[in-house]
Structure 1
C-alpha cells in the first residue's frame, strides 16, 4: 500500500550527518504528526529539496561539504524557498546562527530539548500560514 501524504501533514527536512540525532528528531516529529525527511549532508539535502518541498528545514552547522550557514544561504536563494523557515542546531557554533536571523527562525544548542524543538517548529509553521 502506498503512503499518501495528507495535505495537513507538514514536511520537515532534517539535515544532520549524525544519524542518531537525525533519528531521534525524526521519531519525535513523526509522533507529533509531521512527515520527517532526513539528509546526511547539505549537498544531499539540496538534491532532495525540490522533490520533498519541505515546509520547514532543520540543519546542523558542522557537516561535510558545506556549513549550515552556507546551506541556508543556498536554500534562501533558491526560487520558491526564500520564505521557508529554517532552524539551526549546533554545539559550539550556535552564535553564528544567532547572528543570522535573516536565515534562521531559531537556533538550538546541542544537546537540544526535543519538546522545545517541536514547540518552535509548530510556532514557525503556524506563523507561516497565509
Structure 2
C-alpha cells in the first residue's frame, strides 16, 4: 500500500485529505506542524507528500525545500494544496521542488486524480 504524508495547519483540511485518500486505498499519515512532519520523514519513507502553502511556523515553500534536502525524499512527489492562485507563488513552489498544485476548495475526486497522476 502506498503511503502519503499530509501536512496542513487546519485540522479540518487534514481530515478531509485523509478521508479522501484513505477511501482511495492509500495509507495516510497526517501532521499539522512542518517540523514534526520533517522529523517523521527523516525516519520514514513515504510515496507522496501533500502540503499546505500558508502555515504559521513553517510555510509550504520552506517545508518543500527542507523535504528536498532529505536524501530519501529527493524524488518524492510533492503536491501543494492551497487557496493561493498567484502564478508567482506557483513558480516559487515549482522551483522549491513541488510536483503539482491543487487549489482549494477541491473535490475528493480531484485530489485522488492528481495523486494518481504524480505517483505513476
Of the structure 1 ranges 90-99 and 67-76, higher mean CA displacement relative to structure 2 is found in 90-99
Contact kept in structure 2, 1:17 and 1:63, CA below 8 Å:
yes
> Are 1:32 and 2:14 an aligned pair?
no
Larger relative contact order (Cα-Cα within 8 Å, sequence gap ≥ 6):
2
Normalising by structure 2, report the TM-score.
0.90
What is the root-mean-square deviation of aligned Cα atoms in Å? 1.5
| 1:31 Cα offset (Å) | 0.8
User: What is the SS of the residue equivalent to 1:101?
Assistant: helix
Looking at structure 1, the residues matched to 88 and 33 of structure 2 have their Cα atoms a distance apart, in angstroms, of: 19
Change (3 A) 1:60 1:119: same
- What does 1:18-29 correspond to in 2, within 5 Å? 18-29=10-21
Alignment deviations for residues 77-125 of structure 1 (CA, whole Å, 9 cap, x no partner): 1112100000111113654552032411111111122211101111111
5+ residue gaps in structure 2?
A: none
Change (3 A) 1:47 1:109: same
Looking at structure 2, the residues matched to 26 and 94 of structure 1 have their Cα atoms a distance apart, in angstroms, of: 26
Looking at structure 2, the residues matched to 69 and 54 of structure 1 have their Cα atoms a distance apart, in angstroms, of: 19
Contact kept in structure 1, 2:78 and 2:99, CA below 8 Å:
yes
- What does 1:44-55 correspond to in 2, within 5 Å? 44-55=36-47
Normalising by structure 1, report the TM-score.
0.83
Moved over 4 A (4+): none
Return the structure number with greater helix share.
Answer: 2
5+ residue gaps in structure 1?
A: 1-8
| 1:40 Cα offset (Å) | 0.4
Length, aligned pairs only: 118
Matched with 2:69 is 77
Matched with 1:58 is 50
